[in-house]
Amino acid sequence: MATTAPPPLSTSPIETPIDETPISPAHASSTLSKALPARPDPQDLRNRNILHATSAAPALQSAQAELERQRIADSVKKGLAKRSDRESLVERNILPETSAAPALMKSQRELQKNLRRDSLDRQLQGRPDCDVCEYGKGEANWGQRRRIHGRRMSE
């Protein structure tokens, strides 16, 4: 059984036939007269960003667009040059002080939040009840007051 090779790939572009039949002026005129009423007005084309809203001559519009792009590029470069570096943003607490990958930062924040919550829960469990240490009635001893305030009180 002989195997057949696939046909060679053509390197020439695909040629499509071009219609070269002459168009009669009457047919062209009737087609144009039907299409002109459906043509959008220039303001609509400007609103849809098809026409440029400029008063420059058409020959100068491309140069004007290039100058506008260059002006925007210069503005972006100037803004990037003024941008603060990472260290100053960390010092001002704008960026977090971490070396974790950006994909892990949310998980890291959640972990820190949960650790703080657990720490506060443990601290609150050791706190005395309010009825044990009422300040104004003199029922609580000085040790209780010291423990609540976290500092030593003179006796």
Q: What is the pLDDT of residues 39-85, one digit of tens each?
A: 999 889 889 988 877 777 878 888 888 999 999 999 999 999 999 99
Contact between 128 and 122 under an 8 Å Cβ cutoff? The reply is: no
The tens digit of pLDDT for each residue in 84-119 reads: 998 999 999 888 887 778 888 889 889 999 999 999
What is the pTM for the complete model shown? Answer: 0.38
Contact between 147 and 128 under an 8 Å Cβ cutoff? The reply is: yes
- Residue 74 tokens read as 């210069």
Q: How far from chain centre, in Å, is Cα 17? A: 48
What is the spatial distance between Cα 55 and Cα 66, in angstroms, rounded to a whole number? 16
**pLDDT of amino acid 155:** 42
